């Protein structure tokens, strides 16, 4: 039996799709060795798939490359769920209970599930996140095991436009199945935020190419989540239009200006573009993005003094000086988010901040994937573990146990190879067909060569 599990995950963004495989040993050690990226051009807008076929082609390409790297087959994959319409809707539910019976996790799960069934016009509920529990009007973080006649639960419904998930389903048709859609901002928060940050009050800002996702936590729970239709590409396009250059050129200029948000930008020419002119566009658009981020605090119903810090992630977070600009504007400390601590990434070429979302998906999936399951089937050649049976999707014997991805036979003594049948039991040999012209010619030549010389 293989001693490792393999987890595959995809994160579909507006500018690129990233896929990777992590290996988890029985000891719980998780390592990422293989990562592939495919660039996107106008196939995904604001995190929502627009061109299904192009996006599907990029995903299939990533799957093939990863399979070649591991010499195996990816059967299932975890997919990150995010996009422009993704946001939270606060709600609450009240239930009368039997005061003589303790509250159980099953009861809580049933109440929470019922809350997610209430329709919200034009939106689909993706996940229900409990925030606060009240048992007989007394606030509690863990009601399981308590007794009471009434329970009130304040929740956040995570909702999105139906086409967001519908188009994801369309691009994920094929031999590789979706094991689970993971809400990316929730998973990232669980994986990279400290428990103390969530308790004291924290804002998680994912600054992407075309969207900026803001999540606010307080007292250990999610308070607010929204997705803004603004990102790093807006800055690039401002330079493109304002200075009449190609978008690729504008992107390189944006990345190569030293401290573009500083008032005293060096006057240099980068690919024929004046750095000062480009910096003016960068400062203006960045200021707009930061102002919108700051506004979400009041929309969430909290104050700046209620928050302790901001954690910044995403490709846009790599813009030089943006963390300091956010600190100066919002008056909160900013730190850059890094990959989950339980993940080991030895390859420095893939250990990059812009992949934090994907690494969080892998880490979360590795913790929740049942120990006897895997997203990947490795190819086997020659001798393998004696208990392993190569995947066979035909008729299954009664002595086989199905574990989902690999099947193992129950322990039983090895049988020796059957002895060869007796001569009278052997099948009758096939009749030899007539000699071919080549064989006839060869026999005739041998006869001539063997004749005595004096017969000439």
- pLDDT, tens digit, for every residue of 296-316? 999 999 999 999 999 999 999
Q: Which of 24-28, 86-90, 223-227, 237-241 is the least confident region?
A: 24-28
Q: How confident is the model at residue 174 (pLDDT cuts 50, 70, 90)?
A: confident
Residue 50 falls within a domain, yes or no? Answer: no
For the segment 359-372, the average pLDDT, to the nearest whole number, is 94
Res 266: pLDDT: 84
For the segment 175-197, the average pLDDT, to the nearest whole number, is 96
State yes or no: pLDDT of 331 exceeds 50.
Answer: yes
Q: How confident is the model at residue 27 (pLDDT cuts 50, 70, 90)?
A: confident
Residue bearing tokens 């095991």: 145
> What is the Cα–Cα distance from 9 to 77, expressed in whole angstroms?
5
Residue bearing tokens 């992107």: 251
Q: Which of 37-41, 235-239, 380-384 is the least confident region?
A: 380-384
Let me know: does 76 contact 176? Beta carbons within 8 Å: yes
Q: Which of 277-286, 376-385, 401-410 is the least confident region?
A: 401-410
Residues 6+ away with beta carbon under 8 Å from 118: 91, 125
The DSSP letter of residue 422 is P
Q: Which of 127-141, 205-219, 410-424 is the least confident region?
A: 410-424
Let me know: does 29 contact 21? Beta carbons within 8 Å: no
Query: How many helices and strands in the chain, by DSSP H and E?
Result: 11, 24
Res 455: pLDDT: 42
Among residues 191, 203, 211, 167, the alpha carbon closest in space to that of 79 is found at 167
Mean pLDDT rounded to a whole number for the chain? 86
Res 200: pLDDT: 97
Residue 208 falls within a domain, yes or no? Answer: no
Q: What percent of the chain has pLDDT over 90?
A: 74
Res 25: pLDDT: 87
Tokens of 428: 């009758």
Residue 248 falls within a domain, yes or no? Answer: no
State yes or no: pLDDT of 427 exceeds 90.
Answer: no
Report the relative pairing of strands 400-402 and 407-409 from DSSP bridges: antiparallel
Res 443: pLDDT: 62
Which residue range forms the structural domain that includes residue 93? Answer: 86-160
CA dihedral 221, 224, 227, 231 (to 10 degrees): -80
First to last CA, the chain: 74
State yes or no: pLDDT of 407 exceeds 50.
Answer: no
For the segment 200-227, the average pLDDT, to the nearest whole number, is 97
Question: pTM of the entire structure?
Answer: 0.81
State yes or no: pLDDT of 349 exceeds 50.
Answer: yes
Res 413: pLDDT: 45
Among residues 227, 130, 234, 184, the alpha carbon closest in space to that of 10 is found at 184
Res 397: pLDDT: 40
Residue 306 falls within a domain, yes or no? Answer: no
Let me know: does 306 contact 218? Beta carbons within 8 Å: yes
For the segment 416-426, the average pLDDT, to the nearest whole number, is 48
Res 140: pLDDT: 93
Res 372: pLDDT: 87
Secondary structure E strands in 172-256: 177-183, 202-207, 212-218, 221-228
Let me know: does 428 contact 419? Beta carbons within 8 Å: no
Secondary structure E strands in 72-123: 72-74, 76-81, 87-96
Res 346: pLDDT: 83
Res 434: pLDDT: 53
Res 403: pLDDT: 33
The DSSP letter of residue 424 is G
Tokens of 249: 């050129």
> What is the Cα–Cα distance from 340 to 192, expressed in whole angstroms?
5
Q: What percent of the chain has pLDDT over 70?
A: 83
> What is the Cα–Cα distance from 206 to 218, expressed in whole angstroms?
18
Residue 114 falls within a domain, yes or no? Answer: yes
For the segment 373-391, the average pLDDT, to the nearest whole number, is 65
State yes or no: pLDDT of 424 exceeds 70.
Answer: no
Let me know: does 247 contact 201? Beta carbons within 8 Å: no
Q: Where are the alpha helices (DSSP H) in 179-270?
A: 184-192, 195-200, 232-243, 247-256
Q: Which CATH number goes with the domain that contains 118?
A: 3.30.1490.110
Among residues 229, 205, 188, 216, the alpha carbon closest in space to that of 81 is found at 188
> What is the Cα–Cα distance from 124 to 162, expressed in whole angstroms?
6
Residue bearing tokens 């973080």: 141
For the segment 121-133, the average pLDDT, to the nearest whole number, is 95
Let me know: does 278 contact 257? Beta carbons within 8 Å: yes
Highest mean pLDDT among 114-128, 298-312, 415-429: 298-312
State yes or no: pLDDT of 329 exceeds 90.
Answer: yes
The DSSP letter of residue 427 is P
Residue 60 falls within a domain, yes or no? Answer: no
Higher pLDDT among residues 349 and 420, named by residue: 349
Number of domains in the chain: 1
Residue 226 falls within a domain, yes or no? Answer: no
The crossing angle, in degrees rounded to 10, of helices 275-299 and 247-256 is 80
Residue 152 falls within a domain, yes or no? Answer: yes
- Four-residue CA torsion sign, 251, 252, 253, 256: positive
């Amino acid at each position: 039996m293989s001693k490792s599990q393999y987890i595959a995950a995809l994160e579909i963004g507006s500018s690129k799709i990233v896929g990777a495989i992590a290996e988890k040993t029985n000891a719980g050690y998780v390592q990422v060795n293989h990562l592939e990226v495919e660039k996107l051009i106008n196939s995904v807008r604001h995190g929502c798939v627009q061109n299904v076929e192009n996006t599907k082609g990029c995903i299939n390409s990533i799957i093939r490359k990863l399979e070649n790297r591991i010499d195996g087959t990816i059967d299932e994959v975890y997919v990150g769920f995010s996009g422009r319409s993704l946001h939270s809707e606060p709600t609450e539910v009240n239930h009368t209970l039997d005061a003589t019976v303790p509250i159980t996790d099953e009861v809580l799960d049933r109440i929470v599930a019922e809350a997610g069934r209430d329709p919200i016009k034009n939106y689909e509920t993706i996940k229900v996140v409990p925030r606060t529990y009240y048992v007989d009007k007394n606030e509690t973080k863990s009601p399981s095991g308590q007794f009471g006649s009434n329970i009130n639960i304040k929740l956040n419904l995570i909702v999105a436009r139906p086409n967001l998930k519908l188009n994801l389903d369309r691009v994920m048709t094929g031999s590789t199945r979706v094991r689970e859609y993971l809400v990316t901002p929730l998973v990232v928060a669980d994986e990279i935020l400290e428990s103390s940050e969530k308790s004291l009050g924290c804002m998680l800002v994912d600054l992407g190419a075309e969207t900026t996702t803001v999540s606010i936590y307080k007292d250990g729970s999610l308070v607010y989540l929204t997705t803004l239709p603004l990102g790093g590409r807006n800055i690039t396009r401002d330079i493109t239009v304002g200075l009449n250059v190609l978008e690729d050129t504008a992107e390189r200029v944006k990345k190569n200006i030293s401290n573009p948000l500083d008032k005293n930008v060096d006057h240099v020419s980068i690919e024929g573009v004046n750095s000062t002119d480009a910096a003016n566009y960068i400062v203006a658009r960045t200021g707009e993005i930061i102002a919108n981020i700051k506004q979400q605090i009041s929309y969430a119903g909290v104050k700046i003094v209620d928050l302790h810090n901001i954690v910044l992630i995403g490709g846009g977070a790599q813009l030089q000086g943006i963390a300091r600009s956010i600190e100066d504007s919002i008056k909160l400390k900013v730190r850059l988010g890094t990959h989950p601590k339980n993940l080991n990434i030895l390859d420095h070429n893939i250990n990059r901040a812009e992949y934090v979302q994907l690494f969080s998906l892998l880490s979360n999936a590795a913790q929740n994937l049942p120990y006897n399951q895997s997203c990947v089937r490795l190819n086997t050649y020659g001798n393998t573990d004696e208990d392993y049976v190569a995947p066979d999707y035909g008729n299954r014997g009664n002595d086989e146990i199905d574990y989902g991805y690999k099947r193992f036979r129950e322990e039983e003594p090895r049988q020796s190879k059957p002895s060869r049948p007796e001569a009278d039991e052997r099948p009758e040999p096939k009749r030899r067909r007539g000699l071919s012209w080549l064989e006839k010619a060869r026999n005739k030549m041998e006869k001539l060569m063997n004749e005595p010389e004096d017969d000439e």
